[in-house]
Structure 1
Amino acid sequence: MSTSSATRFLLFLFLLSPFLARVPRALAQPGPQASHPSRRERRKGANADDLKREIKVGGTTRSYLLYVPRAQTRNHPAPLLLVFHGGGGHDYNMPRFTGFDRLADSRRFIVAYPESVNTHWNDTRALSRADDVAFVRALIADLERSYPVDPARVYATGISNGGFFSQRLACDLSPQIAAVASVAATMPETLVPVCHPSNPVSILFVQGTNDPLVHIEGGNVARTHGRNISLADATQFWIDHNQTVKKPDSSDLPSHDSNGTSVHRDIYSGGKQDTEVVVYTIRGGGHTWPGGPQYFPAILVGKTNHDINATEVIWDFFSHHARQECSLNPTVCDAMEHPAM
């Protein structure tokens, strides 16, 4: 293995979470463990207003960070955004890295940052054997019992392993998830043959052409972490499932970034239940979060584009998509999410 390849492999195993590089080491330590599922505690490294919650899933204690906007009231249903960390990362890395808490205050949505088992999500690539889909289902139910969550507006996003897992949620929880956004991730090869969503799901991809870990043309993910399909194939999968238009509305966005990166956008609209598939291709971009920090040197992870802010782009996309059957008939949501036993 070459020195460059070895460096990237170790980076994936131990440092892939983009978030640790910008968080002081002292803040990256796990916070105190709650002794009861209903107990809430602050988590070190997260923002001051992020609270930790724990739930039991199949006999295992799972946890997540929660941010509820200060102005949120129980009389006004709010969207719920699930934000998944990358491989090797933790829940407490994500609030500061993405800035979703700040946006939640102005746009009035609730944010949950789930924590994986052993720092990896089970996106079907055999990185984890945890039943993470059951965890997410239980997490949504937990929040619906405690907060005014709008069941028609539940969304999932993540970077890298978190982005791959968000794709799995679009496959396995399409009756609950209205839209998904994946950054620096396409779809795992192992997910495609088992992905049979029962509902249409709006999909957003943000992918760099020079990502050294998740290749835009598909292939091995960091050499030993399974394989991903190409961005084109992942896009086509959701075009076919949602039955959108075949020819996109394409545009090159204004470019002011001095590092030579730029953004091309393709919008495939007109899908079932008003779904869309939207692709932001970051020309020259790496394994990064556009608008975020250059958390490692570009020689290791590639360049970060600042012509767009992925956090804002993702929420703008989500805000235009709700589960249509829930919006028209809330009792349908109740029946789907709380089936008779």
Structure 2
Amino acid sequence: MNLSVNGEARRYLLMTPDGVAGPAPVVIALHGAAQTPESFRAYFGLDEAAAAHGFVAVYPEGEGRVWNDGRPAAMRLKLVLRPGDDVAFLVALVRRLVADGIADPARIYLTGISNGGFMVQRMACEFADLFAAYSVIMATAPANYREECHPARAVPIQFIHGTADSVISYNGFWTPVGATLSAPDSARLYAVLDGCPPATRRELPDLDTSDGTTAVLRRWEGCRDGAAVELISIENGGHQSPARVDTRPDLATPFLGLRSRDIDAGEEVWRFMSAYGAPVVPPPRAAGKPLPPSSPLRSGKTAPKEAAKEAAKDAAKPAASADQRGIKTQ
């Protein structure tokens, strides 16, 4: 499907499992650099979780197959590939999904891998009230976020990262043009922003002893406004999204390190994010502008259905659909 944003034609795939009718929960998933929505969808394995749990999966495409995330320009290929106005695109996409009756505005979530994971964090910092919860895979926090990230509310956010990632280092890295935090420090950054108490730690079951990986969960609970932060560290995992379902990896993936099959990214993303409901999609506002104390967003509770219906009246544009492998594809 296509969406015009500031004069640019932007594209996205819409996957609705059989038997799911809108307004439904929606997970928007952002691809890594150089991927297409189609290749990302085949690699990520989110469709299986969508079918199992009854949510819609949406795969947008970054301009030039790259996202204009919150890192310094030289760290995100801007000098090579021209990214579009991705913030405006994602905001417009959310509004289209609500207006078309596809998305329940109280249950819209954002996840992404690598470059897409950095873009997830930009949206969490600048438009924290747009999505109910966030999940970041194979990406850490830009070091500049220690000064520049000012979310308008406590942000429920999940990190999944391999300790042997050779592309986006688990331990962070420094360059003359910018730096990233380690995966643990990235999670701690949001835990501090969310006012969380210390984390708990537990080892997850080693369900596939042949994959060369294990997983450890650190979780910060009891945060402000009912938020939580968690980090799943894939011990010995490479620059790979964990999956227990059958996927079609990109050709480059054999060179990116071990892929864990102890957990499944789609299932873990849904487990974490589905615990949260946000109020209706808010009207446009300046990024970082605080919400009023009376905003229902600060309660962490799902908005009433009547408010959701009002949000869907903003615009009405037709949605198209076709069937593919039992999943409606747009």
TM-score range for the pair, normalised by the shorter chain length: 0.7 to 0.9
CA contact (8 A) 1:216 1:231 kept: yes
Return the alpha-carbon distance in structure 2 between the equivalents of residues 141 and 57 of structure 1. Answer: 12
> Is 1:70 aligned to 2:18, yes or no?
yes
State whether residues 168 and 191 of structure 1, in contact with CA within 8 Å, keep that contact through their aligned partners in structure 2.
no
Is contact 1:152–1:333 with CA below 8 Å preserved after alignment?
yes
Residue matched to 1:168 = 122
Counting only pairs closer than 5 Å after superposition, residues 106-117 of structure 1 correspond to structure 2 as 106-117=52-63
1:137 aligns with 2:85: no
Q: Distance in 2 between matches of 1:135 and 1:81?
A: 16
What's the CA shift string for 1:43-69, capped at 9, x where partnerless? xxxxxxxxxx11111111111111122
Indicate how the Cα distance of structure 1 residues 60 and 113 shifts in structure 2: closer, same or farther if over 3 A, else same.
Answer: same
Match of 1:313 among 253, 268, 273: 268
SS of corresponding position for 1:236:
helix
Q: 1:79 aligns with which of 17, 21, 25?
A: 25
Equivalent-residue separation in structure 2 for 1:242 and 1:135 (angstroms): 27
Look up the SS of the partner of 1:243 in the other structure. Answer: coil
Q: CA deviation at 1:72?
A: 2.1
Q: Secondary structure at the match of 1:68?
A: strand
Contact 1:200 1:241 in 2 (8 A): yes
1:187 positional shift: 1.4
CA-CA distance at 1:229 after TM superposition: 1.3
Q: How far apart are 1:123 and its partner, in Å?
A: 0.7
Distance in 1 between residues matched to 2:122 and 2:164, nearest whole Å: 24
Conserved? CA contact 1:152–1:176, under 8 Å: no
- Gap change, CA 1:149 and 1:70, over 3 Å in 2: same
Amino acid at match of 2:68: N
Q: Which amino acid aligns with 1:130?
A: G
Unpaired segments ≥5 residues, structure 1: 1-52
Mark the CA change 1:288 to 1:239 in structure 2 (over 3 Å): closer, same or farther: same
Which letter maps to 2:9? T
C-alpha separation between the residues in 1 aligned to 2:203 and 2:313?
Answer: 44
Residue 130 of structure 1 aligns to a residue in which SS?
coil
TM-score by length of 2: 0.78
For the residue of structure 1 that corresponds to 2:302, the secondary structure is: helix
Q: Secondary structure at the match of 2:134?
A: strand
The equivalent position to 1:210 in structure 2, one of 153, 164, 174, is: 164
1:290 aligns with 2:265: no
Distance 1:63 1:154 in 2: 19
Aligned-CA RMSD value: 2.6
**What is the rounded CA distance, in whole Å, between the counterparts of 1:299 and 1:105 in structure 2?**
28
Aligned pairs (5 A) from 1:215-294: 215-220=169-174, 226-246=178-198, 248-255=199-206, 256-291=208-243
Q: Deviations over 1:152-190 (max 9, x none)?
A: 211111110011111111111211111111111111234
Identify the match of residue 327 of structure 1 among 294, 302, 306: 302
Count of residue pairs the alignment pairs up: 282
Note the C-alpha offset of 1:141.
0.6
Range with bigger deviation, 328-337 or 123-132: 328-337
Q: Deviation digits for residues 276-325 of structure 1, max 9, x if unmatched?
A: 10110011111001126675688831211111111111111111122263
Find the partner of 1:189 among 143, 146, 156.
143
- CA distance in structure 2 between the aligned counterparts of 1:87 and 1:328, rounded to whole angstroms: 35
Structure showing greater relative contact order (alpha-carbon pairs closer than 8 Å, 6 or more residues apart): 2
Residue equivalent to 2:318: none
Greater helix percent: which structure? 1
Q: CA deviation at 1:216?
A: 1.2
Residue 104 of structure 1 is matched in structure 2 by 50
Q: What is the aligned-residue identity percentage?
A: 31
Secondary structure of residue in 2 paired with 1:118? helix
Structure 2 SS opposite 1:181:
strand
- When residues 303 and 190 of structure 1 are mapped into structure 2, their CA distance, relative to the original with a 3 A threshold, is same
The answer as to 2:11 corresponding to 1:60 is no
Question: Which residue identity does 1:195 align to in structure 2?
Answer: C
